[in-house]
Structure formats: C-alpha cells, structure tokens
Amino acid sequence: MSARHWTRALATACAMLVLAACGGAASSAGQAGRGSSSAALGGAAAAKQLMDLYQQARKAGETQVVVYSPDAPALKAVYDVFSQRFPGIDVQAQLLTGSQLVTRIDEEFVSGKHTADLLDVPGDEIWRSYTHGYLVPYDPPTAQGLSNKGFQLVGPDHTWVTPYAKLNGILYNADLVKSSQAPKSYVALLQPQWRGKVVITDPRQIGATSGLLIELVHQGLVPGDFISRFRAQNPVIVPHVPQVAQLVGGGEYPLAIPYGVQSVIQDRKQGAHEGLVLSLKEGAEIAHGPVGLLKGAPHPHAAELLEAWMLAPEGQKALAAAGFYGSMPNSPSPAGFPSLSNVKVIPEPQPDEYDDILNAGITRVAQLWGA
C-alpha cells in the first residue's frame, strides 16, 4: 500500500460508534444484561454492583465518560465493547501526552471547570496526579486478585488501579525490512544503515521516546553515551503515535521506536505490513496503564463503571483483542503475540520513582535535541 493510500485509510479508519436506542433505565438494564452471564462481569456480586452503577449513571443523566489518555486511538475498540455492554454511555477518549496532558489537567483544577472523568496515563503522570490531590479513592468490585507484586498496580488509598500493560519493541515495515534483518537490539539502531531512518515521537518532552531512552541508560542496558549517539543518527521526529503509523506503515521509513503491540494490531487492520521485534537483547519495554478517577468528574458513576469493567473478564478480553496485556490473573494475551511470561522485559520504574528518574534525564535528552 502506498504512503498516500495508507494515510487516507488511516484518516478514515475510525468507525462510527452506534449505541443501542433505549427508552429508559429499565430497557437499558435489559439490554446491558442481555446475552451474557454474570461471569463476564466478574461473578454475581460484581455484576450486581456494576449494574447498580449503570442504573445510577442513567438516573443521573450521565451519557458519557471523558478519558484523557495517550493510548486513546488503540483503546477505542475497548471502549466500543463497553458501550455495547452498557447502552447509552459513550466513551469520549482524548489523545493527550506529555506537557499537553499536564497543562490540561492543571487548568481544569485551577479553573474548577472539569471536563475529564478518568485518567488513563503512564506511571509518572498518575503519581503526579495523586500527589497533587487530583484523584478520588475508588475500590472497584472487580479488583480482587490485582496484586502489587512487581509493579504498583493499586495506588495508595485505592486512588488508581492498573487494568493493563503495553509491550513495546522495535517496529519495522515488512515491505522494506526482512524480519531476519530487523534490529535485534536498541544498540543496533546505531548502525550506519539506520541513519535518518528511525521514526520517534518528540523526545524533548516526557513521553514514550524520552522515557525509553532514559530507561535504557538508567538500567545500564546500553552504553552511557547511547542517547547522544542515537541523536547523531538523525531520527525522524513526529508529535504522536498516529504519525508514526503513517510514516512507517505507509512505507516512507523502515523503523520506529518505541512501538506497541496494540498499535501494530490497529495498523494491520488498516492494511499495514508491519513487524514488531520484542525479543530484544536489552528486553522489550513494558509500560503499565494506571487508571484513576478525577475529583470533580462530571460523570462519576459512569467513570467508576468503566474503571471497574476494564478489570472484569469481559474488559480484560477486550483489552487483549486490542493488543493490551491484562493485569488480572489468567487474563488472555493478544492473539499472535507472546505472553508476558515468555518475554524478557526492561524493569519498569515504580510510579513514585518514575518521575525522579525521568526528571533526572529529560533535561539532558531535550538539550541534545536543541530544546
């Protein structure tokens, strides 16, 4: 597929979400429970609590949930399943990252005019929101079994839960690069043939690329001068992941870092011929997705419902189908990709230490790119 046709396909890819028409709370409840068992919602007790939340949301006139997330495009398929389960509640996900995300949240709390209900953000931002007092404690009925072993999946005072993780590696266009020739380590990106051919998101602010680069150095997985040497390779900078998809999926450039399973699945549905290297010498990057309810949320019942549903078996299945790795025990892995237990991963900093690690490295990274 040509770059022009790929870009056009990507721009028109999002299907319109069609909600079931419902004449009131009673008919909505019937549709929400139709054709399903309580097991899909985590058992009889959890299902009852979720249905109670649904009725409260409908009674309060809450017809949507507004989520701020850097993963908004890939999560759309997950939110569609939620809206099919609970007719009349739409999920409005806004793609926000880095300083843009921080500024938006701070502005809402300064002004008192709240738009967002939920944050679905990286560990550093969820911790910042917690320490600023932006989050409301909430213990979803579906969270039993969610463990803090390895990563803090449940925030202090239950101010967040972590429904999923992303697995990121090196993306390659399979029309331009054979799988046998794709880089098998991040250090391999320093080879001359990749100069000017690797697409990244803006490293001058805290985000996916800067986080990966800082993590690699912090963990001692690459030489200390790796970031400056990678900068000298003149990688191509774009603002967000969708632009990465256009350039690599469209065949203009052969490689990108970091890139997730969820994005590859989304791209392939649009006809992109992509591969993802996860078996890397340094390890694949794992990035958890904490979700927290914001104070002043305009749609609190619907927001609690969505947060709880994402941890339910049905939500975990929907996350896997979209390319995410569910956090609940025995959750399925994305089809065609390895389970987490079979992949070497780069240890992810805890939410309370991630910010310090990023702040220690972001100034140097930004300076290398002339910020």
pLDDT tens column, 151-208: 899 999 999 999 999 999 999 999 999 999 999 999 999 999 999 999 999 998 878 8
Q: Could you give the CA distance from residue 182 to residue 193 in angstroms, rounded to a whole number?
A: 11
**Which CATH superfamily hosts domain 166-286+339-368?**
Periplasmic binding protein-like II (3.40.190.10)
Give residue 326's identity as a one-letter amino acid code: G
In DSSP terms, which residues pair with 181 in a beta bridge? none
3-17, 202-216, 246-260: range with highest mean pLDDT: 246-260
Q: What is the mean pLDDT of residues 347-361?
A: 85
Res. 24: pLDDT tops 90: no
Q: What is the mean pLDDT of residues 105-116?
A: 97
Q: Dmax over Cα atoms in the chain, in whole Å?
A: 65
Res. 248: pLDDT tops 50: yes
Contact partners, residue 193, CB within 8 Å, separation at least 6: none
Percentage of residues in the chain with pLDDT exceeding 70?
A: 90
Classify residue 252 as left (phi > 0), alpha (psi -120 to 50) or beta: alpha
In DSSP terms, which residues pair with 168 in a beta bridge? 260, 285
pLDDT, residue 357, reads 86
Q: What is the mean pLDDT of residues 121-134?
A: 94
Q: Which residue has the higher pLDDT, 19 or 320?
A: 320
For the chain, give every domain's residue range. Answer: 43-165+287-326, 166-286+339-368
Q: How high is the mean pLDDT of the chain?
A: 89
For the domain spanning 43-165+287-326, the CATH number is 3.40.190.10
pLDDT, residue 205, reads 82
CA 264 vs CA 171, 174, 253, 294: distances in Å: 8, 12, 15, 30
Q: Could you give the CA distance from residue 291 to residue 155 in angstroms, rounded to a whole number?
A: 10
